[in-house]
Copies of this chain bind each other. A is one copy, B any other.
Amino acid sequence: MKKINSAEIARQAGVSRSTVSRVVNSYSNVPSDTRDRVMKVINENEYYPLLCGQLLAGKRTGTIGFFWISDSPIANDIQSSSFFVHVTEAATEMGYLVLACILKNLSDKDNIEHVKKIYMQERIDGGIFIGIDNHEPLIDELVSKNKIAGVFDYHRPECAEPNRISVNFETSTGIKAIDYAVSMGHTKIAILDGNPERYSCLTRHEGFLAGLEKHNIPIRKEWIANADITEEHGYKAALDFLSNAQELPTCICCQNDSVAFGAYKALREKGISIPGQISIIGIDGHFRGQLMNPPLTTFEFNFKKFFRSLVTRTISAIEGKDGYDTTEFIDSVLVERGSVLDLRK
C-alpha cells in the first residue's frame, strides 16, 4: 500500500494536479463531470491531501491551541475539567481542532518557550489561555508578533489590538454579593479575597469594598483575608482568620466557590454551623456547590457561554473577519440555596 499523492490522483483521473486541488478545495470552476471523475479516483484511493503540503502552500491549520496554566491538579476539579470540554466542543462545532497543553506555571522559562514554539512552528492558527495573570508578558509578546490570543479572565482596556481577545466575568459580582448579604440582614461581613493578579479577583475585591462602603459598613481589616483561588487556600485562610478574629462575622463573602468549599471545611472543624452561626456566599456556580451541606448560595456563571464567546471571537480573528468585540463580559445569576441565613426573620 504505497502512499498516494495528488500527482497520482491526477494521473489516474487524467487531469493535472491543479484540477485535483480545485476539486479537493471545492472550487466552482470545475465542470461536474470532471469533478465526478476526480472524486471517484479520490474515493477509490482514499486520498486525503497531506496537511503539511497544504500548510506550505499557505493554508491554515484549522487548529487552536488551548493553554491551561494551573499549578493545582486540574484533574480533581470538575469545574475546571469541564472547561476543556466546552472549548473542544465549541471549536469542533466551528470546524476547528484543539491542541491541548497543560502548564504548571508561566514563571518557568521552559514553559514560556513551549507555548511560543507551538505558535512559531505554526502548529496552530491561534490560542486560548486560561489561568493567566492580567499582565502576563507572554500575551503581550504573542500579540506584538501578530499571533492571536484569546484569554479567559483578562482585561486590558488600554490595549486595543484586534488579536488580543478576552472574555470576562461581569465586574459587579462583588458588589452584588454584598448587596445580597445586606438584603438578608447581614452587616458583620467577612471577605475571603483572591489573587489580585487575576482580573476577576481584582474586580471582586473592589466590588466587595465598594459594597461595604455603599451600605455604610465600616471595613474591618481583620475580617478580610487573602485566600487565592483554591479550596486549600480558602480553608487555610478561613481557619487562620477564625482562630484570630476577636469577634466573628455573621456572613463570609467568598471570592469564588472553591474558596467557599475551603471555608466550609474550616467552619466544620471549628464546630461553627452554616448558616446558623455564619452564612457563606460563593461566586462561580461550581457544580459541587449543590452537593454541599448545606448547598451553597452562589452567583452562578454559565461557563459554556464564556468559552463559546472566546472561541468564536478567536476564530473570527483567525479568519480575518472584523466587527467582533475584543472583549465580552458575562453576567451572573444569583442562585439561592441553603448557605445564607435570613437575619430579618
Enumerate chain A interface residues (CB-CB to B < 8 A): 1, 46, 48-53, 55-56, 63, 66, 73-78, 81-82, 84-86, 88-89, 92, 97-102, 116-118, 120-123, 145-146, 287, 291
Please name the 6 residue pairs, one residue from A and one from B, whose CB atoms are nearest each other, closest first: A81-B81, A48-B120, A75-B82, A52-B55, A75-B85, A51-B121
B76 touching A287, Cβ below 8 Å: yes
A99 touching B98, Cβ below 8 Å: yes
B82 touching A48, Cβ below 8 Å: no
CA distance A120 to B43 in the complex (A): 13
B101 touching A85, Cβ below 8 Å: no
Pairs A–B under 8 Å by Cβ, sample size 28? A48-B116, A50-B55, A51-B55, A51-B121, A52-B52, A52-B56, A52-B122, A53-B56, A56-B56, A63-B123, A73-B85, A74-B85, A75-B81, A75-B85, A76-B82, A78-B81, A81-B85, A84-B84, A85-B102, A88-B101, A92-B101, A92-B102, A97-B99, A97-B101, A97-B118, A98-B101, A99-B100, A291-B291
CB closest residue in chain B, given A117? B48
Query: Which chain B positions have C-beta within 8 A of A116?
Result: 48
Additional 19 contacts, C-beta under 8 A, given A63-B123, A84-B100: A49-B121, A50-B56, A50-B121, A51-B52, A51-B121, A52-B53, A56-B56, A74-B85, A76-B82, A77-B78, A78-B78, A81-B85, A89-B102, A97-B100, A97-B101, A97-B118, A97-B123, A98-B99, A98-B100
CA distance A81 to B86 in the complex (A): 11
CB closest residue in chain B, given A49? B121
CB closest residue in chain B, given A141? B46
CA distance A48 to B123 in the complex (A): 12
CA distance A102 to B76 in the complex (A): 20
- What's the minimum C-beta distance from A86 to chain B, rounded to whole angstroms? 7
Contact A1 to B99, CB < 8 A, known contacts A75-B82, A123-B51: no
A50, A52, A56, A82 — most chain B CB neighbours (10 Å): A52
Query: Which chain B positions have C-beta within 8 A of A77?
Result: 78
CB closest residue in chain B, given A97? B99
Query: Which chain B positions have C-beta within 8 A of A52?
Result: 51-53, 55-56, 122
Q: Which of B48, B88, B97, B102 makes the CB contact (< 8 A) with A88?
A: B102
B88 touching A100, Cβ below 8 Å: yes
Query: Which chain B positions have C-beta within 8 A of A74?
Result: 85
CA distance A39 to B287 in the complex (A): 50
A76 touching B75, Cβ below 8 Å: no
CA distance A97 to B98 in the complex (A): 11
Q: Which of B84, B101, B145 makes the CB contact (< 8 A) with A1?
A: B145
Q: Which of B46, B63, B85, B117 makes the CB contact (< 8 A) with A99?
A: B63
Query: Which chain B positions have C-beta within 8 A of A46?
Result: 120
A48 touching B121, Cβ below 8 Å: yes
CA distance A86 to B46 in the complex (A): 34
CA distance A120 to B85 in the complex (A): 24
Query: Which chain B positions have C-beta within 8 A of A92?
Result: 101-102
Query: Which chain B positions have C-beta within 8 A of A88?
Result: 100-102
CA distance A75 to B98 in the complex (A): 16
- What's the minimum C-beta distance from A333 to chain B, rounded to whole angstroms? 19
CB closest residue in chain B, given A89? B102
